[in-house]
Amino acid sequence: MKHHIDFEPIGRRVDVDDDTTILDAARAGGVELMSVCGGVGTCYECKVRVAKGNVTPVTDIEQDALTADDLAQGFRLGCQCAPIGDVKIDIPAESLSTPQRLQVEGQGAEVELDPVAKIFDVEIPPPSLHDLRSDASRLIESIQCDHAAISLVLLSDLSSTLRRLNWRARVIARGDEVIAILPQDQSVLGLAVDIGTTKVAGYLVDLQTGETRAKAGVMNPQIGYGEDVISRIHYANTHKHGRETLQEKIVEGLNQLVDDLCSLANCSRDQIVESVIVGNTVIHHLFAGLPVEQLGEAPYVPAISEALEFRAKEIGLRLAPGAYVFLPPNIAGYVGADHVSMALASGIGETAQTVIGLDIGTNTEISLAHQGRVICCSCPSGPAFEGAHIQDGMRAAPGAIERVQIRGGVIQVHTIADQAAVGMCGSGILDAIAELINVGALDSRGGMKMDHPLTRQREKSKEVVLVDAQHSGHGRDVVITRKDINEIQLAKGAIRAGVEILLKVAGIGSGELDRFIVAGAFGTYLDLESAIRAGMFLDLPRDRFRQIGNAAGSGARRMLVSKNQRAAASDLARRMEYVELTVHPDFEKVFVKGMMF
Amino acid sequence: MKHHIDFEPIGRRVDVDDDTTILDAARAGGVELMSVCGGVGTCYECKVRVAKGNVTPVTDIEQDALTADDLAQGFRLGCQCAPIGDVKIDIPAESLSTPQRLQVEGQGAEVELDPVAKIFDVEIPPPSLHDLRSDASRLIESIQCDHAAISLVLLSDLSSTLRRLNWRARVIARGDEVIAILPQDQSVLGLAVDIGTTKVAGYLVDLQTGETRAKAGVMNPQIGYGEDVISRIHYANTHKHGRETLQEKIVEGLNQLVDDLCSLANCSRDQIVESVIVGNTVIHHLFAGLPVEQLGEAPYVPAISEALEFRAKEIGLRLAPGAYVFLPPNIAGYVGADHVSMALASGIGETAQTVIGLDIGTNTEISLAHQGRVICCSCPSGPAFEGAHIQDGMRAAPGAIERVQIRGGVIQVHTIADQAAVGMCGSGILDAIAELINVGALDSRGGMKMDHPLTRQREKSKEVVLVDAQHSGHGRDVVITRKDINEIQLAKGAIRAGVEILLKVAGIGSGELDRFIVAGAFGTYLDLESAIRAGMFLDLPRDRFRQIGNAAGSGARRMLVSKNQRAAASDLARRMEYVELTVHPDFEKVFVKGMMF
């Protein structure tokens, strides 16, 4: 007998026979449900929630894997149950493999729609000998906004546009300025972008409905000029037109991203009338063409920390000709608009609770909300979690190991898109380290115990083979080395130190934390247990953690559709207190301790 | 015995012996006092006023030349009197030859200084570990303007500029936007430009004192693409990138003009933070890059009639990087911002009198103020008065005949800079026609009476020789032909028709006019008697006429230094009622009549 399975939030329906497990059904339907053990019931990764309908009874394996609370809420393991009749299955973000998580994260920015761009559908009387008003006058009077001005870039095509549209137009005004004139059947879109040091995420949002019409990512093309922001500042300072080159590169990247988004949403860039772009302070400055010299020297002050807006055209970003770019405020040289945006989206600015929020990237920014204060800092965590500086590291792409388990002395891996392994992305590296600690292959200083069966010495390198050459995608072993582990120690030590110093500044202990929010792509895909086991995160009760996806991007989308949210971001930025970690007397001690396992 | 003669408003002192006439003294001192007869007392052009001191007694020639009123006010002929002791001589604008008139016209825009750009001299605390405000924040807080923003073009150099100036700066803000940062010892300048169809006049004004620091003119480089605005519209419509080409040309011309002005005033373009640019509607549109197709077809509506402002940089005009361009409102397709500016400067908008104001150019705009109404129209007078379409026509440059008299059957001419004649400029042509009418060489339809001794037939052309080949600067006769006279008839007929139609629309007769104001370079240099004799102007009592120079340029300077004047211009533009001449039922009749002598 056939049953329907509706997978949410993916929104995909799969029809299956009796006795087909949810995991098999997911695979058959192209739903990338996580599984490391291959469905034998040892990895517990394929956790799903039965939202509607009935499935086969709970197995012994599920009794071990799931808490009573989980079971009460309908959680099951996908490999252990099969539908009895039609069911609806809800897949938590952490049980989805990377590509589909990218599709569903950051949904539902629930803000009241109040975009800076206002939309008017008008029918304009054409000129005649009895009505000699200028084209601009008749347009402005049609939207009943006497003080409106029309920007030069629009005026240059205004007369032909109005005649081509036969005097029926959708007019978009921003404050007192008319910024676009579209046919009445075209939707009005906004662009939200989170420019990371390594990756760029873009969202196309319908400004009338708030709906996200398309999402896409590109690599930050500035990578070729320096992996981290310090090396990009150096490039800008030491090369002729260095700053201009870095600006051109990122603008080119965004133009490419806009192309991709427009293809996905089947629209034109002329429909994109507004954009909100977030990034760290160095990225922000390089994008806007601002000086970065002073960000490379103490006391590391930004050229500007206030919100900034200008025409997209001014920097060569190709949206609608009259479109604007809004850059939210930043806090300090190393706490940027992206963190303000994340703090906005995660509610850190408004909470009455004591909350840590962190956004892991090449630079990791952390905020602590406690009794009305919001204290923040910046940790140079480096690009190791993006796969850089790791011998077999790679970004989260098909063939990347994203989960590692060691069961009975055997290493099991799960790769993105179930392709043969060719490397490891951040969450895989972190898993590998946590599992190697668990099985006693690593000591507390990160050293490999060479008497452990999983370790080996090869030439000068101590290493562990995760996937051997016979099973890999490129015919070589995929390994994790002592040096890789050291890179991760530096990164996670910096993050842990940042958290510890913020707690010290606030004068509280970790037990007082109500919530520990982890944002960013890597922060969302990482295995929480691994992060805690590796000492990167505090060992708090698990229900205090929230992995919230690209919150900086969500915040950007909020500001895209809401003037109030822009004001809230500026207010939040003014309130946030910046702590310079490196001058804190305890920093070095805490950092060294943080590197330990 | 030596005497000092101080010539005003030129401001030049000349020392002379007894018995040296004022005219000779002027020539010796390089003061270009007008004289057609060469000092024999027949042309009456060297009229001056003795403002201080004593001169030799009034001669019989002066008794004939001057009214009792003139004599009572101290007016004399420069060729007829010599100083007795030190004197101060005031030269009326009409007695100065063109180049020096250009220097002195349009002085003294007496408006209260209230420029849109505000100036703050500040000392800014530099950043430190205890003061981590961004460079922009510390700048904005120093000018105590919390809502100020800094434009992107400034931000890109802000950090280095503040450090280079050692944190002491002259900050220029425009509304809530910081638009320039200068050293404290540099003056802050504005640019006013009147772009004519043929000629461009520019003024550099100190925004702190209101003083005009430099004046210069260039030809409008668009001339190569059409002599009048209609042919330029045609060019823009029929050539690929035609509109862009015409914009580039005029912007290039202005950049050249700014170079010249900066050399004259010994300053840099970075000091020019604001500009007001006026021109007719087609010129305005082409300058701003706006569409002109609809200006070429009935009902000839502008793309925009409201005041317009944008960054100079947006169109490639090189001033200070953050400088703005302000374009005052226009009225209709053929009554532009230049006429609004002229109406503003001449007080037409505010007068309780009945006043005609006209600005003669390739296109002539006329306004009539009567009982609170201001009615305006546009006449296609063509470029004949600029010397175009005239066989020996030329612009007002050295060697151009600018005055013509016929005494005892002999033609006498005065050329600009007293150089041998090479052609005629507009005022010379008009004089020649008036004098030929006086001596009966022309009939009322403009035909040459071939039995008159001054006329001759040469090949197909009927003509009058003004200067023969032996005395000319290029070895050829300088002549005025029947065809030239016809060109002038068309031009003056159009102007006269415009005046007559406005009087008809207002329902008044010419006798009710309190004032007849003539603006524009040609309008100022022309001989009033000649213009009346030729039937271009109404035959009103002479004291009702005012020749006020480049009033459009004066108005632009007023708007440059005063926000109130900008508001007044917008108000005036809204009030001005446009009359389309060509659809008036009496137009053709009045025009044909206006062509007669």
- Out of B135, B149, B301, the one facing A135 most closely (by C-beta) is B301
Chain B residues 547-586 within an 8 A CB cutoff of chain A: 578, 580, 583
What pLDDT score does B476 carry?
93
Q: Is the pLDDT of residue B299 over 60?
A: yes
Which residues, listed in sequence order, are joined to residue A150 by a DSSP beta bridge? A178
Cα–Cα separations (whole angstroms), residue B375 to A118, B260, B366, B378 = 38, 38, 8, 11
3-state secondary structure (DSSP) of residue B533: helix
Q: Is the pLDDT of residue B217 over 90?
A: no
Which residue type is seen at B190?
Answer: G
| pLDDT tens per residue across span B325-336 | 999 999 988 899
If you average pLDDT over residues A426-435, what whole number do you get? 95
If you average pLDDT over residues A392-420, what whole number do you get? 90
| pLDDT tens per residue across span B152-165 | 889 989 999 999 99
Which ipTM did the prediction report?
0.74
What pLDDT score does B107 carry?
42
Higher-pLDDT residue of A129 and A194 is A194
3-state secondary structure B503-516: HHHHCCCHHHCCEE
| pLDDT tens per residue across span B218-227 | 888 998 888 7
Task: Report d(CA B150, CA B132) in Å as an integer.
Answer: 18
Beta strand residue intervals within A220-298, DSSP E? 272-279
With CB atoms and an 8 Å threshold, state whether A127 touches B580: no
Least confident range from A52-56, A223-227, A531-535: namely A223-227
Which of B360, B420, B426 has the alpha carbon at shortest distance from B393? B426
* Structure-token pair, residue B452: 């008159």
Least confident range from A33-37, A238-242, B384-388, B520-524: namely A33-37
Q: DSSP 3-state helix, strand, coil percentages of chain B (rounded to 5)?
A: 35, 25, 35
If you average pLDDT over residues B267-292, what whole number do you get? 96
Q: To the nearest whole angstrom, how far is the Cα of A571 from the nearest Cα of chain B? A: 14
- Out of A137, A300, A306, the one facing B137 most closely (by C-beta) is A306
| pLDDT tens per residue across span A110-123 | 688 899 999 999 99
Query: Do the Cβ atoms of B378 and B334 come closer than 8 Å?
Result: yes
Query: Do the Cβ atoms of B229 and B282 come closer than 8 Å?
Result: yes
What pLDDT score does B45 carry?
83
What pLDDT score does A361 carry?
84
Nearest residue on chain A to B156, alpha-carbon basis: A290
Q: To the nearest whole angstrom, how far is the Cα of A328 from the nearest Cα of chain B? A: 13
With CB atoms and an 8 Å threshold, state whether A137 touches B332: no
Task: Report d(CA B150, CA B322) in Å as an integer.
Answer: 9
Cα–Cα separations (whole angstroms), residue A6 to A1, A9, A12, B211 = 16, 9, 6, 79
| Confidence band of A106 (pLDDT split at 50, 70, 90) | very low
- Out of A136, A291, A298, the one facing B305 most closely (by C-beta) is A136
Q: Is the pLDDT of residue A145 over 80?
A: no
With CB atoms and an 8 Å threshold, state whether A155 touches B583: no
Length of chain A equals: 597
With CB atoms and an 8 Å threshold, state whether B132 touches A158: no
As a whole number, the mean pLDDT across chain A is 91
List of chain B residues whose C-beta atoms are within 8 Å of the C-beta of residue A583:
129
**DSSP line for A376-411:** EEEE---SGGGTTTSTTB--SSTTEEEEEEEETTEE
List of chain A residues whose C-beta atoms are within 8 Å of the C-beta of residue B181:
none
Least confident range from A59-68, A329-338, A519-528, B62-71: namely A519-528
With CB atoms and an 8 Å threshold, state whether B159 touches A578: no
If you average pLDDT over residues A497-503, what whole number do you get? 96
Q: To the nearest whole angstrom, how far is the Cα of B133 from the nearest Cα of chain A? A: 7
If you average pLDDT over residues B111-131, what whole number do you get? 90
List of chain A residues whose C-beta atoms are within 8 Å of the C-beta of residue B132:
299-301, 332, 578
As a whole number, the mean pLDDT across chain B is 91
| Confidence band of A522 (pLDDT split at 50, 70, 90) | confident
If you average pLDDT over residues A320-334, what whole number do you get? 94
Higher-pLDDT residue of B257 and B387 is B257
Q: Is the pLDDT of residue A257 over 90?
A: yes
Least confident range from A13-22, A500-509, B438-447: namely A13-22
What pLDDT score does B495 carry?
96
| pLDDT tens per residue across span A563-582 | 999 999 999 999 999 998 88
List of chain A residues whose C-beta atoms are within 8 Å of the C-beta of residue B164:
none
Which of B104, B191, B111, B204 has the alpha carbon at shortest distance from B558? B111
Nearest residue on chain A to B313, alpha-carbon basis: A314
- Asked if the C-beta of B447 comes within 8 angstroms of chain A's C-beta atoms, the answer is no
What pLDDT score does B100 carry?
56
- Out of A135, A291, A299, the one facing B127 most closely (by C-beta) is A299
What pLDDT score does B403 carry?
93
Q: To the nearest whole angstrom, how far is the Cα of B299 from the nearest Cα of chain A? A: 5
What pLDDT score does A217 carry?
87
- Out of B136, B290, B330, the one facing A304 most closely (by C-beta) is B136
Q: To the nearest whole angstrom, how far is the Cα of A503 from the nearest Cα of chain B? A: 22
Nearest residue on chain B to A315, alpha-carbon basis: B152
Whether the link from the prior residue into A291 is cis, omega within 30° of 0, is no
Mutation target among B128, B130, B135, B281 for the A interface, most CBs of A within 10 A: B135
Contact residues for A569 (Cβ-Cβ < 8 A; gap 6+): A307, A328, A329, A340, A341, A344, A555, A559
If you average pLDDT over residues A58-76, what whole number do you get? 92
Which residues, listed in sequence order, are joined to residue A49 by a DSSP beta bridge? A75, A90
Q: To the nearest whole angstrom, how far is the Cα of B153 from the nearest Cα of chain A? A: 9
3-state secondary structure B338-390: HHHHHHHHHCCCCCCCCEEEEECCCCEEEEEEECCEEEEEEECCCCHHHCCCC
pTM of the model: 0.78
| CB-count burial class (<10 Å; 0-12, 13-18, 19+) for B6 | middle
Task: Report d(CA B220, CA B199) in Å as an integer.
Answer: 5
With CB atoms and an 8 Å threshold, state whether A314 touches B159: no
What pLDDT score does B98 carry?
66
- Asked if the C-beta of B293 comes within 8 angstroms of chain A's C-beta atoms, the answer is yes
Chains A, B: CB contacts under 8 A, how many? 144
What pLDDT score does A103 carry?
47
Chain A residues 317-336 within an 8 A CB cutoff of chain B: 332
List of chain A residues whose C-beta atoms are within 8 Å of the C-beta of residue B331:
none
Chain A residues 125-164 within an 8 A CB cutoff of chain B: 127-129, 131-137, 140, 149-153, 155-160, 163
With CB atoms and an 8 Å threshold, state whether B291 touches A157: yes
% of chain B exceeding 90 in pLDDT: 69
Which of B581, B198, B534 has the alpha carbon at shortest distance from B383? B198
- Asked if the C-beta of A219 comes within 8 angstroms of chain B's C-beta atoms, the answer is no
With CB atoms and an 8 Å threshold, state whether A290 touches B158: yes
What pLDDT score does B37 carry?
78
% of chain B exceeding 70 in pLDDT: 98
